[in-house]
Structure 1
Amino acid sequence: LVSCPNSGMSAGLEQTANKSADALLLCIDIGTTAVKLLLVESATRRILYSGSNNIEASPVSTAPRQSVMSLHSILAAFSNLASKIDSHIDGDDNMLGRVSDILLCGQMHGIAMWRSEQPLASCSELVTWQDGRCSLEFLQSLPAPSRPEVVAPKSGFGLATLLWWQRHQPDRLAEFDACGSAMDWLAALLIGGSGSVRMSGQLAASWGYFDLAGQRWDADSLAAAGLPPRPRLPDIAPVGHVVGCLSPTLLTSLASGHAWAGRLPSSCRVRVPLGDLQCVVYSVYAPLQPSTLSSTSTGPADFDGRAFLNFGTSAQLGFLTSEPPQQPSVRDHAGIDCFPFFSPDRYVLLAASLNGGNVLAEFVQTLADWQEQLTGQRCPSETVWQRLQVLADEAEPASASDPDPLISPTLLDERCGGGTQGGSVLGLRMSSCRSLGRLYRSVCLGLINNLLSLCPPAALRQAGIDRIILAGSALRRNAVLRRAAALRFDECQFQSIVLEDGGARQQPAVADGAAGLAAQFLDWVAAGRGES
């Protein structure tokens, strides 16, 4: 157990369970385009503050097929949110002083490197999950996983990127001694970079070469791949593990540029970061009432027959299972991956598409660019979004004699495809070509069809699925996309469940990931589960 200064006791489950009645949780969700934050009262589960702040520098390609983002931009987005907390809550001018635990989750697969003694001053960029530098040829040159239960590396996975660096830019690796996800970097920053990086199995699995059953790195395959000695791979830690407590010296050094830092207590514990996928899935199945996180059971009966469709920047279609990952199953489909959930006997099987809300955002950006090129004036993106919704509603319905075009909007090549074919349009006619509403409707339907090509309806039926829960920020805001999903699932004889009257939908500023992160932690404490 970790001992925190000024806390008077160890930072284990006993301390968490016996915390003062006014203790708060600070929950941080680091996404691809925004950082989202929740402040939750532990005893009552009340949400005291929620907010979202765009990351100034969106992922950019520094070279063809590469996608990176600045860690400092992520910190700036978080700092902007954290500094607003006290001014948004009446009756208490130091809410951050009541924070007992910091919980982190966020974008999976990506990798960043840093020097452990200087995580802020000496760090690399974050190579994101959208990165495509690892070609099919390169991936095929890597050793196969040593056992069936080991996650194979794919393009955009952290260890694939690390091995790519080792082969193409080995000198760069020698600059750093630590590596991890964006959340692991922020955790290391908060605790002063002391000790080895500790990573959850959820995030480690998203890097590849991770043994799902043994919850450890696949040492044999990594040795065969020529894993470099620097940076050192993170140690694996269980869910709920305390990676450390806030560093007083770091808080002092940050305080000048980040006002929130000086208001957090040095006794505050930082828990091992988790994957946004698992936290979103938890929030999907856990009923969340307005302004309050309610508890949920995680028994098998809670999930029987229900899959989830989550649309954010990317998109996922999957379900929970207790089937051991090494057994032949629906996982044998090329587009379906297996990741650990919150208990040792439960896994998430899912098709993870790189093409989700990012494609719709690119469509909107393209229309705005075209207008500017033609007229010299640019329409605000928000106006384009609103007009597309209206035009799609007003557009003539498709018919047998005048069908909508078939659009495959795969602007990013899927990890399981192995090709570089891009998207396509089939069946474009005069009537549909002139209707922006019909084209937009077809793009939305194409995104759903793409997911179903990765996780076929037959595979869902094989797993006993008969209902699909529609969740995620893109589905919540986009009625056209929501209708497209409901239409396709109805055609495949699945019932669609739209989360509108419960869940994080009641809190539009709340990230599903941050809400699930907080709910899971409080349920974990209430269940009396231990930690290491």
Structure 2
Amino acid sequence: MAAPPVSSAKFVLGVDIGTTSIKVVLLDSQSKNVVDSSSFPTNSVLNNDIHEHAKEQDPARIIAALDQCMDALPTEKLHNVKCIGVSGQMHGVIFWKSTTGCEWSTSNAGHTFRPQDVSQLITWQDGRCDTDFLSSLPKPESHLSVATGFGCASIFWYSRHRPEFLTEFNIAGTIQDYVVSMLCGLGGCVMTAQNAASWGYFNSTCSQWNTDVLKGAGFPIHLLPVPVQSGSKAGKTCSEWHGIPASTPVGAALGDFQCSVYSCMADRTDAVLNISTSAQLTFAMPADFSPPGEPDPLSPIAYFPYFGNSYLAVAAALNGGNIMATFVGMLTDWMKELGLEVSEAHVYSKLIQCALSQPSTDLHVTPTLLGERHDPTCLGLVSHISPTNLSLGHVTRAICRGILANLATMMPPHTLLAAGVKRIMGSGSALTRNEILRQEVVRTFPLPVVCGKDVDSAVGVAMFFSDKL
């Protein structure tokens, strides 16, 4: 009997290192279709006893979740991966040593790596850099302001409060930069403009760090990654990895936000609304746009580097799907205190059902529990409370409406219309799983709304590098 024909299909692996979960996809390089995907939660959030506002994650758990995702993909297709693209949560920082960083091992799943001599991941949600601390930092030579949770701000905090901690490491990057560095066996870290801009103190016009400003303020500039263009190759896999051959090209890590936009912005007249852990509303600026020379810390709209020297106008809200998650967690905790054990998944499902039966509400919820970068002191507010609007349906719908109202305050509908936006493309895990949020998008913005399938950062990074092949 003749042997079965060997498949000639080639694939691009897209990896997204999210705030709460990892997702990987295999994209057929010819058809541009996603043929396989896998996602697992990281369960990596750590309790920090040193600072009450610290938000850190365990990189070992993150990599373990990545391994779970990879193990779920077909081995025969992984053998035919011709390129790897990685995106991930922006702003955060992780430290490691150039001489180690990870340890490779062999198992039934093939070669894998484990973090070694690395710090915890200080995430974009970190709040230890308060307003007073931020006001003590030098003014950046950039159009983007610096906020708590930004890589450079976090490094400044450590240099002033725990300088001995920084002496243990000589490399820093985002978590996605770390994964790329380990896959390629790099002795340093390369960082695209997308991620560098999210750290602060990076001039995206000339693609350079504000080294003079930082050096003058006592910043350890040796920790700064080497800037590269978005779309550059970081290197090649230094080993076989989960069946992917050694010497497979790996792209320099990209921002999860930009990749999410890339996955669904079919036309430059599209705006993209992403609601995952946080929320963003964005549209493309004209090709000849240049950002302003100085940051406006009070502006709710920022300009993020995109691809090909272009920019996105972005309203980046800290309050998104995490608000619903907080509400669900609060109810679950209350029930525990009352002696009832109910899973968060069950509570979430019931809340959506209740809100579906409550099509409108006069209850007002301003869900800015985390403040916003342009207004860090603003907090949540509930108003127009009456005996008739205290049901779970009313409250759930009011929270979802408030999430969209907050975004509309940051980027009003008239701003979208003036920019020539003709429709809104919806994306993100929170928007995908929450029909109430989708209903409130339509109510809030007077534009057609399209929520697509396979619209996310893992798909976007795979699409981008597939288009470059």
Taking structure 2 as the reference length, the TM-score comes to 0.90
Letter in 2 for 1:448: L
> Counterpart amino acid of 2:139?
A
CA distance in 1, matches of 2:95, 2:313: 29
SS of the residue aligned with 1:74? helix
1:410 aligns with 2:368: yes
Q: Label 1:468 to 1:47 Cα distance change in 2 as closer, same or farther (>3 A).
A: closer
* Equivalent pair of 2:143/2:294 in contact (CA under 8 Å): no
The residue aligned with 1:480 is: 436
- C-alpha distance after superposition, 1:106-125 (max 9, x if no partner): 11000000001111210001
Shift of 1:333: 6.2
Aligned to 1:236: 227
Q: CA deviation at 1:151?
A: 2.3
Q: Which segments of 5 or more consecutive residues in structure 2 lack a partner in the other structure?
A: 1-6, 103-115
Residue 310 to residue 329, structure 1, CA distance change in 2 (3 Å): farther
In structure 1, give the amino acid aligned to 2:386.
Answer: R
CA distance in 2, matches of 1:103, 1:69: 22
Of 330, 335, 338, the residue aligned with 1:366 is 330
The answer to whether structure 1 residue 463 and structure 2 residue 419 are counterparts is yes
Say which is worse superposed, 38-47 or 97-106, in terms of deviation.
Answer: 38-47
Distance 1:21 1:135 in 2: 55
How far apart, in 2, do the equivalents of 1:386 and 1:472 lie? 18
Secondary structure of the structure 1 residue equivalent to 2:291: coil
The separation in 2 between residues aligned to 1:408 and 1:61, in whole angstroms, is: 28
**Deviation readout 1:418-443 (Å, 9 max, x if unpaired):** 31x4211111111112x110011100
Could you tell me which of 192, 195, 210 is aligned with 1:200?
192
Instruction: Give the corresponding residue for 2:317.
Output: 353
Distance 1:443 1:21 in 2: 50
Aligned partner of 1:132: which letter? G
Once the two structures are superposed, the pairs formed by residues 101-112 of structure 1 within 5 Å of their partners are 101-112=83-94
For residue 182 of structure 1, the aligned residue among 152, 171, 175 is 175
Change (3 A) 1:123 1:488: same
| Amino acid of the structure 2 residue aligned with 1:422 | L
Alignment partner of 1:69 is 2:53: no
Structure 1 position 170 matched with structure 2 position 157: no
Q: CA deviation at 1:478?
A: 0.9
Give the letter for the 1:106 counterpart: G
1:103 alignment partner, SS class:
strand
Write out aligned runs for 1:295-310 (5 A).
302-304=267-269, 306-310=270-274
* CA contact 1:100–1:267 (8 Å) conserved in 2: no
Quick one: structure 1 residues 224 and 330, their matched pair in 2 at CA, closer, same or farther if it must change by over 3 Å?
closer
Select the structure that is richer in strand. Answer: 2
Partner of 1:297: none
Matching residue's letter, 1:228: P
1:132 is aligned to 127
Contact 1:280 1:512 in 2 (8 A): yes
Structure 1 residues 385 and 243, CA gap change in structure 2 (3 angstroms):
same
1:207 is matched by which residue type in structure 2?
W
Please tell me whether residue 498 in structure 1 is matched to residue 455 in structure 2.
Answer: no
Could you tell me whether the CA contact under 8 Å between 1:368 and 1:384 is conserved in 2?
yes
Say if 1:245 and 1:270, in contact at 8 Å, map to a contact too.
Answer: yes
User: Quick one: which amino acid aligns to residue 227 of structure 2?
Assistant: I
Deviation at 1:23, TM superposition (A): 2.8
Kept in 2: contact 1:330–1:463 (CA 8 A): no
For 2:218 and 2:413, the matched residues in 1 are separated by: 40
Amino acid aligned to 2:80: R
From the superposition, tell whether residues 459 and 396 of structure 1 become closer, same or farther in structure 2 (CA, over 3 Å): closer
Give the Cα separation in 2 of the matches to 1:84 and 1:328. Answer: 47
| Partner residue in 2 for 1:153 | 146
Distance in 1 (CA, whole Å) between partners of 2:425 and 2:259 is 15
Provide the rounded CA distance (Å) in 1 between the counterparts of 2:228 and 2:409.
Answer: 35
Q: Distance in 1 between matches of 2:21 and 2:359?
A: 36
List aligned pairs for 1:267-286, cutoff 5 A.
267-286=247-266
- Whole-Å Cα distance in 2 between the matches of residues 331 and 319 of structure 1? 19
Rounded Cα–Cα distance in structure 2 between residues aligned with 1:284 and 1:223: 40
Distance in 2 between the 1:43 and 1:310 partners? 27
Cα separation, 1, equivalents of 2:206 and 2:308: 13
Structure 1 residue 392: Cα displacement:
1.1
Distance 1:85 1:209, change over 3 A: same
Q: Distance in 1 between matches of 2:295 and 2:120?
A: 36
The answer as to 2:461 corresponding to 1:517 is yes
Aligned CA distance change for structure 1 residues 118 and 135 (closer, same or farther; 3 Å): same
Gaps of 5+ in 1: 1-19, 87-92, 252-260, 287-301, 399-403, 526-532
The code of the aligned residue for 1:152 comes to S
CA-to-aligned-CA distance 1:191-212 (integer Å, 9 cap, x gap): 22x3321111110010011112
| Preserved CA contact (<8 Å) 1:408 1:450 | yes
Instruction: Return the alpha-carbon distance in structure 1 between the equivalents of residues 212 and 199 of structure 2.
Output: 16
Retained in 1: the 8 A contact 2:159–2:166?
yes
The answer to whether the 8 A contact 1:307-1:467 is kept is: yes
- Distance verdict in 2 for CA 1:480–1:229, change over 3 Å: closer
Q: Which of 314, 332, 342 is equivalent to 2:307? A: 342
What's 2:396 paired with?
Answer: 440
Amino acid at match of 2:93: I
Q: Is the 8 A contact 2:367 2:402 kept in 1?
A: yes
Give 1:325's aligned residue: 290
Aligned in 2, Cα 1:475/1:331: closer, same or farther, shift over 3 Å? farther
Counterparts in 2 of 1:163 and 1:24: CA distance versus 1, 3 Å: same
Offset at residue 221 of structure 1 (A): 2.0
Equivalent residues of 2:78, 2:242 under 8 A apart? no
CA deviation digits over 1:276-332, x for unaligned, max 9? Answer: 11111111214xxxxxxxxxxxxxxx313x322210111001111135333499989
Structure 1 stretches of 4+ with a deviation exceeding 6 A read 328-333
- Alignment: residue pair count: 448
Contact persistence 2:275–2:430 (CA under 8 A): yes
Give 1:384's aligned amino acid.
V
Inter-partner Cα distance in structure 1 for 2:393 and 2:327: 12
What is the CA-CA distance between 1:247 and the residue it aligns to?
2.0
Change (3 A) 1:85 1:468: closer
**Residues 221, 458 of structure 1: alpha-carbon distance in 2 compared, 3 angstrom cutoff:** farther
- CA 1:469–1:97 in 2, change beyond 3 Å: closer, same or farther? closer
- Of 68, 86, 99 in structure 1, the residue corresponding to residue 81 of structure 2 is 99
Give the SS at the match of 1:206: helix
Distance 1:22 1:396, change over 3 A: closer
